[in-house]
Structure formats: C-alpha cells, structure tokens
Structure 1
Amino acid sequence: MTLEILTPERKIFSGEVYGVQLPGISGLFEVLDKHAPLVSALKDGKLKILKDKSNTVSYTIQSGFVEVLNNKATVLVEGAVEN
C-alpha cells in the first residue's frame, strides 16, 4: 500500500509500505494492505511505519487525521519527528 505523511510545512514520508500503526483517539490501530476505506482522528503519540515484516521506522506525531482509500493511506498531522 502507499503511505503519505504530511504536515503543514512539508511531506515527511511517501512510499510503498507493508502497513502503518497509528495512535487513534480510542487507542492504537493498524492499517495493512487492502484495508477498507477509513477516516479517523489521531492523537499525539507514536506512529510506526512497517516497511516490511521486519523493518520499521517510528515517528512521534502531533494530532491529526488519517484517510485510507484505494490502498493508499494519507496521514495529515500538525507535526512529526523521526525517532
């Protein structure tokens, strides 16, 4: 699936990934390949990009939203810092 992470200032990440773990308002959730369409609010926390089954990259994000549609996840956040 394609993942894009955007802040008001710049694009943080864009590329093909296995999945992504996100800090939803009600708790952590994971979006994998061919996930159903979804829009969710995000709280401050840790976002983990699953590049493949053994390679991950983490970011600490500020609040925002995620949209999943047509095997693409778009994450819009106020800020993000790679860990």
Structure 2
Amino acid sequence: MFLEIITPDEKVFSGEVVAVNLPGTEGPFEVLNNHAAIISTLDKGNVKISEGHNQVKNLVIDGGIVEVLNNKVIVLAEAVIG
C-alpha cells in the first residue's frame, strides 16, 4: 500500500509500505494492505512504518488526521518531532 506523511511545511514520507502503526486518539492501531476505509484523528506519538524485509522507520508526530482509502494512507500531521 502507499503511504504519505505530510505536515504543513513538508512531505515527510512517501512510498510503498507493508504496514503502518499509528497513535489514534482512541488508542494505537495498525493499517495493513486492503484495510477498510477510515478517517481517524491522531494523538501525539510514534508512527512505525514497516517497509518490508525488516526495514522499519519511526517518526514522532504531534497529532493529526489519517485517511485510509483504496490501499492509500495519507497522514496529515501537525508536526514531526525530532
């Protein structure tokens, strides 16, 4: 699936991923390929990006919104910390 992480200032990440773990306001959750369509608010916390073959990236966001639709995940983050 395709993941984009965008802040008001820049595009932080863009590419194909196997999974992404997100800090939802109601608790953390994971998005995998063929996930049901959702829109959710995000809390401040860690975003774990699994690109496959044991390649993992971690980002800390300062809240935001995520949309999942047709194997495309768009994270609109307030800011990326660090």
TM-score class normalised by the smaller sequence: over 0.9
> Does the 8 A contact of 2:4 with 2:13 survive in 1?
yes
**Offset, 1:81:** 3.6
**TM-score (ref. length: structure 2):** 0.95
Q: Distance in 2 between matches of 1:6 and 1:28?
A: 19
Counterpart residue type for residue 54 of structure 1: N
Residues 1:9 and 2:5 are matched in the alignment: no
Match of 1:29?
29
Residues 1:77 and 2:70 are matched in the alignment: no
Runs of 4+ in 1 over 4 A off after TM superposition: none
Residues 1:62 and 2:50 are matched in the alignment: no
Q: Distance in 2 between matches of 1:68 and 1:19?
A: 12
Q: Which runs of 5+ in 2 are unaligned?
A: none
**TM-score (ref. length: structure 1):** 0.94
> Does the 8 A contact of 2:62 with 2:81 survive in 1?
no
Q: Which runs of 5+ in 1 are unaligned?
A: none
Give SS of 1:44's match.
strand
Counterpart residue type for residue 40 of structure 1: S
Equivalenced residues, count: 82
> Does the 8 A contact of 1:18 with 1:53 survive in 2?
no
Give SS of 1:51's match.
strand
